[in-house]
Structure 1
C-alpha cells in the first residue's frame, strides 16, 4: 500500500477542523505560552552577567520541555479520534522523558558530527574571540586559508544535506514513542516507516518552511509597524510583535504535528511489523 501525501494532508485538515476545540488549549499551553515567556524574558533579562544568563537558559529549557510536551499532546489528539483533552495531556506527560532522552541523543550525535568543523578551525588557528566581536559582520571576520575554508564549506554542505535527509526520515520518531512505547528503537522504526517517502517529505518540509517564514515575518512585521505607529519605538511594540509571532508559531506547529500524527497512522497501518496487532496497537484513521 502506497502512502499518498495528499491523502495524509486531507486527513490532517479533517482533524484540524473537527478537533479545534481540543487542540487550541493544548497549543496555547504547549506552544504559544512558552514562546511568549521566552520573548518577554529576552527583553527583560538583558544584562550580561552569570545570574541573568543562567535565568535565561533556565527559562529556555523550561520552554523547550513544554513545547515537546505540546508536540506529544497534539499528536495524541490527532492519532486517535477518541482521545480527549485530558487523555492527550496525560499521554504527553507520560511519554515526555523517553522523548527527551531521544532528543538528547540526537542532539549529541549532531554535535559530534559538527566537531570536525570546530577542529579544523582550531587547527588553523582561527580567532574565535575576534569572530564573536564582529557580531556577524562577514567583512570583519578573521581570514581562513583556502584549504580550511574549502573543507568548512564542503563539510557544512554535506552536513546540511544529511540534516535534511535525517529530518525527513526521523519525522515519526515522537509519534512512534507515543504510540508504540519504544525507546531508541523508535529511530529505526521511524526510518522504516518513512521508507520510500524521503523526497516527498523533504518537499513537504521545504514548502512548510517557506509558508512558516512568510507568515511569521508578515505577522510580526504588520503588528510591529502598527505598534510602533501607535506606541512609538518602545519595548512594548517589540513585545507585541513577539506575541504575534508566538501566535503564528503555535498555529503552524499544531498543523505540523497533526500532519506528523496522521502520517504515522497512514504508514504504520501499511507497514507495521508482523508482531504488531493493528487492531490493538495502531489507532484507526479518522
Structure 2
C-alpha cells in the first residue's frame, strides 16, 4: 500500500492539469446543480419530485463518467484528456450496468427489515410511526442494519477495483467477480484505508461547510437561509471533489499493482 500511495502522489503531481478539469466538470458542477435544486426548489409537488429525480440521475451518470475518465488518466501516463473522455464514454453503460446489479442486490438486502416493519403494522410513510416502532422490531432493525453496514463495507473493499476493471479490461457485470479476485488478500487493509479515508474526508468537509455557513448566516441573516445552505454545500462539494481526485488516482494505481502482482504469481 505504501508503494501504491507513492505512485498516487506521482500521478497527482504529474497529471493534475488533466484530472482537475475533469473533476470540476463531472463531479463538482453536477453537485452544484443538485445542491441548487435542494436549496432553492420548494418540495411538495409531483413535478418537483420528478425534477429532483432527474437531477439525481444526471449527477450519478456524470459522476460515473468522471470517475472512469480520471481512472483512465491515472492508470496510463500517456493518456490524454481526449483519450480519457473517449474511453469513459465508451465504458459508461457497462459501468452503469454493474452499478445497477449492485443496486438490485442492495434493494433485496433491505427487504427483511421492511417486511418486519410492515408485519408489525408500522406505517413506513409516517416518520413518527417509524420512530415509535415496537422495541422488539427496533432491536431487530438496528441489529440487521449494523450487520448489513459491516457486510457492505467488506464487499465495498472487494469491489474497489470495479471501475478500473470495467475501464481497462472491457468487462461489464463480469467486472464484479474480477475485482473480487484482484483484491484477494487485501480485504482488511482496504477496509482500514476506506475507514481512514472516510474520516479524512468527513472532517474537513464538515469544517468547511460549518465555517462558510456561519459566515453567510451572519451576513445574510434568517432571510438568506437558502443562499447560506447552497453556498455552504458548494464549499463542501469543492472539498469532496478534491478528495475524489485523490481516490481515483489511488484506485487506479491499486489496480495497476494488483494486476502486476497477479501476473508475477
TM-score range, shorter chain: over 0.9
CA distance in 2 between partners of 1:239 and 1:101 (Å): 32
Q: 1:214 aligns with which of 199, 203, 207?
A: 203
Which of 167, 184, 189 does residue 200 from structure 1 map onto? 189
Equivalenced residue count is: 263
Decide whether the 8 Å contact of 2:204 with 2:239 is kept in 1: yes
Long gaps (5+) in structure 1:
135-139, 275-286
Secondary structure of 1:95's counterpart equals helix
Q: Which one of 29, 50, 54 corresponds to residue 54 of structure 1?
A: 50
Equivalent position to 1:25, from 13, 21, 24: 21
TM-score normalized by structure 1?
Answer: 0.88
Cα separation, 1, equivalents of 2:229 and 2:148: 35
Q: 2:37 aligns with which of 32, 38, 41?
A: 41
Q: Are residues 243 and 149 of structure 1, via their aligned partners in 2, closer, same or farther at CA, if it must alter by over 3 Å?
A: closer
More helix by share: 2
- Distance apart, 1:141 and its partner CA: 2.0
Of 157, 162, 179, the match for 1:173: 162
1:129: Cα distance to partner? 3.3
Note closer, same or farther for the CA distance 1:268–1:220 as it changes in structure 2 (3 Å cut): same
The answer to which of 229-238 and 25-34 deviates more is 229-238
Give the whole-Å Cα distance in 2 for the aligned partners of 1:199 and 1:269.
20
In structure 1, what is the Cα distance between the partners aligned to 2:156 and 2:15?
27
Large movers: runs of 4+ above 4 Å: none
The whole-number CA distance in structure 2 between the counterparts of 1:65 and 1:205 is 23
Say if 1:45 and 1:56, in contact at 8 Å, map to a contact too.
no
Q: State the distance in 2 between where 1:246 and 1:158 align.
A: 30
Deviations 1:132-170 (A, max 9, x none): 247xxxxx8223152x33332332222111101101000
Report whether the alignment pairs 1:225 with 2:214: yes
Moved more, 182-191 or 93-102: 182-191
**Aligned with 2:248 (options 238, 242, 257):** 257
TM-score of the superposed pair, with normalisation by structure 2:
0.95
